[in-house]
Amino acid sequence: MEIKAAQVDYIYRNESRKVFATLVRLLGDFDLAEEAMHDAFAVAVEHWADHGVPNNPVAWLVSTARFKAVDTIRRRRRFNDLQGEIAGRVAEIEAANDSLAEQDIKDDRLRLIFTCCHPAIDPKVQVPLTLREVCGMTTEEIAHAFLIPPTTMAQRIVRGKTKIRDARVPYSIPSLTELPDRLAPVLSVIYLIFNEGYSASSGQSLTRTELSDEAIRLARLLLDLSPHPEVAGLLALMLLHESRRKARSTADGDLILLEDQDRSLWDQTLIAEGKDLVERSLRTRRIGKYTIQAAISAVHADAKQPAQTDWRQIVAFYDVLLRIEPSPVVELNRAVAVAMCEGAESGLSIVDQILASGELQSYYLAHSARGEFLRRLNRHGESLAAFEQALSLANQEPEQRFLRNKIDSIRSLEQQEHNR
Amino acid sequence: MMKYMLLVYGDENCWNEDERKECMLESMTIADELTRQGKLIAAEPLHSVTTATSIRVRSGQTQMTDGPFAETTEQLGGYYVIDVDHLDEAIEIASRLPPAKLGTIEIRPLFPKPDAAG
């Protein structure tokens, strides 16, 4: 009996989101699906103890949950005639009873991702909704990870669920012609989830790591179901970033720049998988922004020492990236790579052009890069001014510490020169 | 099936007479097609907001103002009520309406009436 309960527990942890996704499609209602799923698991605990775990527990649970949902709808209907419209679906649900295909269950999670990331839903709502409904994280966990009060987070999730239900956002995988447009918000949500877990060093580090793991899990699921080159590119990009997690900050949470990282700490298994995906994606010749960024990351991963980095290759990838998605941030990153090939003077002139065009003036990294180029050119006074401007624009505690250290070291350089 | 109202907003003064006629003809073609498919419940263009009258009843008193509910840069210029499967179909239809290129189409699901259901 106890062993059976443990088995139900195990199935709950690993399969409940599949059951839920299928129920959402069949019932067209998040709350009804959630309730029916829990009812089905409650039945499973007793039933499986007497009869053993069925061969296909997911199908059994979906089936049982559907009957439970039909009961719930009938009960609600008696109390409230407004629910009549939902009751009209009872027949549909019963008709679907026999046609539960394995492939459909697999696709249901993908349908749910596309629903939660539908462009008709506010991007602020897409991220928590995906974490809640597709990944099964609790509202409290999501609120905690994003440093937002749980009530605010709960409101956003309810808003998303209400929109999906009342505006009838469909549960469907977009057709091939729509796919590129519809894939973009899905990939961006997954990357946002990853970055929230990767870049910010504030907040609870444990929950943050979970966010990155969830993003990688979602990308794997998406790749399994839709082998679009950009899905492979995004997964590769995240794996390559993730491979450096141990090397990118000190025990105190201070940032360590790529060039100063202990490269023996990089996770070679993740790097190998990431590089394999990048190569596969590049071969399709339908190259998108995630694949290119992953390719750049892979060039860094190839260098055993910073000095061995193939900066010409990186500049070439940035040129492609600028053609696909022109942006001043990409231009800035390209400037850093150009400076590594041709010297700080070239990098400085690109950054000055960007700033002169009115872009990135309040972006701390632009001023920080400028300060670094000036430092390398031994123009210490101007370098100090640039780093101080960067410091006034940086928001995160570790970034500010990093910039203060830079400023201190340039000041002491200046002092030494003065004394000489 | 699901009913949606498509509210057509745009700057009334950004069309010249030829464009307005062109837009009207194109819209009527789309409306005819939707009627044949059984997806159109109603569709009408509206007169300019300069003809609008707004009414409020407060403490039994009817207050009347000459003009629209709110002064905005884009005004309600017409509407469609359609009956389709889901939001994606409504989005597809709304995207084809000529005013979508100059103004905004707001898609609103209709609230099901209690006695009309089940």
Complex ipTM, two decimals?
A: 0.84
| A229 occurs within a structural domain | no
Please indicate if any CB of chain A lies within 8 Å of the CB of B113: no
Write out pLDDT tens, residues A122-143.
988 999 999 899 888 889 888 8
Residues of B in contact with A168 (CB under 8 A): 2, 85-87, 109
Contacts of A169 in chain B (CB under 8 A): 86-88
pLDDT, position B117: 46
Is A304 part of a structural domain of the chain? no
Residue A305: pLDDT above 90?
yes
Calculate the dihedral angle through the C-alpha atoms of A108, A114, A115, A119, rounding to the nearest 10 degrees: -170
**pLDDT at A87 > cutoff 80:** no
Q: Is A334 within 8 Å of A356 (Cβ atoms)?
A: no
Are A170 and B86 within 8 A, CB to CB? yes
pLDDT band at A398 (very low <50, low <70, confident <90, very high): confident
Q: How far apart are CA B24 and CA B42, in angstroms?
A: 15
Query: What is the pLDDT at residue A95?
Result: 59
Contact A84 B91 (CB under 8 A): no
Q: Distances from the Cα of B62 to the Cαs of B41, B52, B56, B93, in angstroms? A: 32, 16, 6, 39
Query: CA-CA distance, A403 to A189, in Å (whole number)?
Result: 30
Cβ-defined contacts of A295-301 (< 8 Å, 24+): A296/A321, A297/A236, A297/A237, A297/A240, A297/A241, A298/A236, A298/A240, A298/A271, A298/A274, A300/A258, A301/A240, A301/A243, A301/A266, A301/A271, A301/A274, A301/A275
* Residue A179 confidence (pLDDT): 79
User: What angle do the packed helices A268-283 and A289-302 form, to 10 degrees?
Assistant: 140
Q: What pLDDT score does A79 carry? A: 63
- Region A335-356: mean pLDDT is 96
Q: State the residue range of the domain holding A346.
A: 327-420
Rounded to 5°, angle at Cα A248 from A243 and A250: 135
Query: pLDDT at position A100, please?
Result: 60
Domain count of the fold of chain A: 2
pLDDT at A34 exceeding the cut of 70: yes
Residue A79 counted as domain residue: yes
Average pLDDT over residues B5-31: 91
Q: How far is B82 from chain A (nearest CA, A)?
A: 13
Sheet strands side by side (includes B40-45)? B40-45, B75-84, B2-10, B104-109
> Which of A38-52, A82-96, B32-46, B52-66 shows the lowest mean pLDDT across its residues?
A82-96
Report the pLDDT value the prediction gives residue A229, as an integer from 0 to 100.
94
pLDDT recorded at residue A25: 87
Residue ending a domain, among A54, A77, A100, is: A100
Write out residues 1-60 of B within 8 Å (CB-CB) of A.
2
Q: Which of B87, B98, B3 is nearest to B42 (CA)?
A: B3
Q: What is the band of B7 on the pLDDT scale with cuts at 50, 70, 90?
A: very high
Chain B interface, best mutation among A73, A168, A179, A181, by max B CB count within 10 A: A168
Q: What is the pLDDT of residue A43?
A: 92
**Could you report the per-residue pLDDT of A141-175, keeping only the tens digit for each?**
888 877 789 999 999 999 999 999 999 999 888 87
- Separation in Å, CA of B36 to nearest CA in chain A: 23
Q: Within a domain: residue A26?
A: yes
> Encoding tokens for residue A260?
């100063």
Residue A76 confidence (pLDDT) above 80: no
Closest residue of chain A to B84, computed from CA coordinates: A168
How much is the pTM?
0.78
Residue type, A3: I
* Residue-level pLDDT at B59: 94
**Smallest CA–CA distance from B2 into chain A, residue:** A168
CATH superfamily of B2-112: Dimeric alpha+beta barrel (3.30.70.1060)
The pLDDT of residue A17 is above 70 = yes
pLDDT at residue A201 is higher than 50: no
Tell me what pLDDT residue A71 has.
Answer: 86
Give the CA count within 13 Å in the CB-facing half-sphere of A233: 23
Domain boundary among A100, A124, A139: A100
Q: Quick check: B71 pLDDT over 90?
A: no
Instruction: Report yes or no: B78 and B8 within 8 Å, Cβ to Cβ.
Output: yes
d(CA A389, CA A367): 7
Residue finishing a domain among A46, A76, A100: A100
Q: Is the pLDDT of residue A303 over 90?
A: yes
Mean pLDDT of B85-94: 96
Nearest CB to B118 within list A88, A118, A170:
A88
The pLDDT assigned to B96 comes to 95
In this model, does residue A16 exceed pLDDT 60?
yes
- What are the backbone dihedrals phi and psi of residue B81, each rounded to the nearest 5 degrees, phi first? -115, 120
Whether residue A177 is contained in a domain is answered as no
Q: Which amino acid is at A67?
A: F
CA distances from B11 to A357, B24, B70, B101 (A): 33, 16, 14, 12
Is residue A151 within 8 A of residue A159, CB to CB? The reply is no
A91 — pLDDT class (breaks 50, 70, 90): low
Q: Which two structure tokens, joined as six digits, stand for A30?
A: 């998040």
CB A249 within 8 A of CB A258: no
- pLDDT, tens digit, for every residue of B24-68? 999 999 999 999 999 999 999 999 999 999 999 999 999 999 989
pLDDT band at B118 (very low <50, low <70, confident <90, very high): very low
Cβ-contact A26, A93 below 8 angstroms:
yes
Nearest to A320 by CA among A300, A334, A306, A301: A334
Percent of residues, chain A, with pLDDT higher than 70: 90
Q: What is the mean pLDDT of residues A49-61?
A: 88
Taking an 8 Å cut-off on Cβ atoms, the answer to whether A85 and B118 are in contact is yes
Angle formed at CA A193 by CA A188 and CA A195, multiple of 5 degrees? 90
Yes or no: say if A136 and A19 are a contact pair by the CB < 8 Å rule. Answer: no
Confidence at A300, pLDDT banded by 50, 70, 90 = very high
Please judge whether A84 and B88 are an interchain contact, meaning their C-beta atoms are less than 8 angstroms apart: no
Q: What are phi and psi of A87, to 5 degrees?
A: -60, -25
Per-residue pLDDT, A173: 82
Mean pLDDT of chain A: 87
Neighbouring C-alpha atoms within 13 Å toward the C-beta of A164: 30
Which DSSP string corresponds to A371-420?
A: HHHHHHTT-HHHHHHHHHHHHHH--SHHHHHHHHHHHHHHHHHHHHHHH-
Does the residue A69 lie in any domain? Answer: yes
Pairing assessment for the beta strands B40-45 and B2-10 based on DSSP bridges: unpaired
Asked if B86 has any chain A CB less than 8 Å from its own CB, the reply is yes
pLDDT at A272: 97
Residues of B whose CB is below 8 A from A77: 118
- pLDDT at residue A81 greater than cutoff 60: no
> Tell me, what's the pLDDT at A141?
83
Residue A226 has pLDDT above 80, yes or no: no
Find all residues with CB under 8 Å of A171, minimum gap 6, and list them. A24, A25, A28, A108, A111, A112, A115
**Cα→Cα distances A9→A2, A4, A17, A41, Å:** 11, 9, 13, 9
